[in-house]
Copies of this chain bind each other. A is one copy, B any other.
Amino acid sequence: MQDFSSFARLLADQAGEIARHYFRQELAIDIKADNSPVTRADREIEQCLRSRISIERPDDGIFGEEYGEKVGRDGATWVIDPIDGTKSFITGLPLFGTLIGLLRGGVPVAGMIAVPVLDERWEAENGEARLNGRPCRTSRCRTVAEACLYTTSPDSFAGPDLATFAGLASGVRLQRFGGDCYAYGLLASGHIDLVVEAGLQPYDYLPIVPIVIAAGGCMTDWQGRPLTLRSDGRVVASASADLHAEAVRKLAAAR
């Protein structure tokens, strides 16, 4: 049995080939039940990865954005987001990526963020985080007041979550919108310090958890609990334990 990284790299190679083929080409865009867009690129990538996983790891489960869950027999589950950042993808912005995660007994143990157009891959396995093969590390930022915060869009915060987010965001050093999975890569490499989001699905965050943690950061739900397949879609990732504790305190106090 291959280790995670070498198999995930093969998967990411295939995903990247498809993504680059369709990037900036005219594509029909369908709107899914949850109002999010999807194209043939999302579908073809996921089909390709599912088929490859089924051949090489027939006993493993698969959980993907477009084609749901295949229950496994050995406690291992591959979590796949074929294109995280579909809105970026369909508007020609290169900050989208394929997410590939591995759960054992429901716990995220390895993951990859593969950004094909920019040729950047963050990956983690056995507690080691790397960007394009080189070890990467979160920043030393320890307080919200010193933090650079990213979140994909204010539209992802429903109801009182927007005010909760705004309360935290008003106290940071610098705040930016945009990024999708790329923001977590920037966090794992120490360029930003904090990512706060809501409305995410398990395939959006489970492949990323091992990368942030192996890089020295923390990543939980807004209450500080570990992220699982059944989390509520509210996610906070931080460069350090001190920063994380303060961010979780502020998110919890506002609720």
Q: Which of B91, B174, B178, B189 contacts A192 (CB 8 A)?
A: B91
Chain A: residues with Cβ within 8 Å of the partner, total of: 27
Judged by a CB distance under 8 angstroms, whether A94 is at the interface is: yes
Q: Which of B91, B153, B178, B186 contacts A191 (CB 8 A)?
A: B91
CB distance from A226 to the nearest CB of B (A): 27
Copies of this chain: 2
Judged by a CB distance under 8 angstroms, whether A177 is at the interface is: yes
Q: B-facing mask of A104-137, CB < 8 A → 1, else 0?
A: 0000000000000010000000000000000000
Judged by a CB distance under 8 angstroms, whether A88 is at the interface is: yes
Contact A92 B192 (CB under 8 A): yes
Interface residues of A in 3-54 (CB under 8 A from B): 24, 37
Contact A177 B192 (CB under 8 A): no
Judged by a CB distance under 8 angstroms, whether A182 is at the interface is: yes
Q: Which residue of B lies closest to A173 (CB)?
A: B29
Judged by a CB distance under 8 angstroms, whether A87 is at the interface is: yes
Interface residues of A in 149-165 (CB under 8 A from B): 150, 153-155
Q: Which residue of B lies closest to A92 (CB)?
A: B191
CB distance from A1 to the nearest CB of B (A): 35
Contact B118 A189 (CB under 8 A): no
Contact A95 B92 (CB under 8 A): no
- B residues within 8 A CB of A177? 153-154, 177-178
CB distance from A125 to the nearest CB of B (A): 23
Q: Which residue of B lies closest to A189 (CB)?
A: B92
Judged by a CB distance under 8 angstroms, whether A241 is at the interface is: no
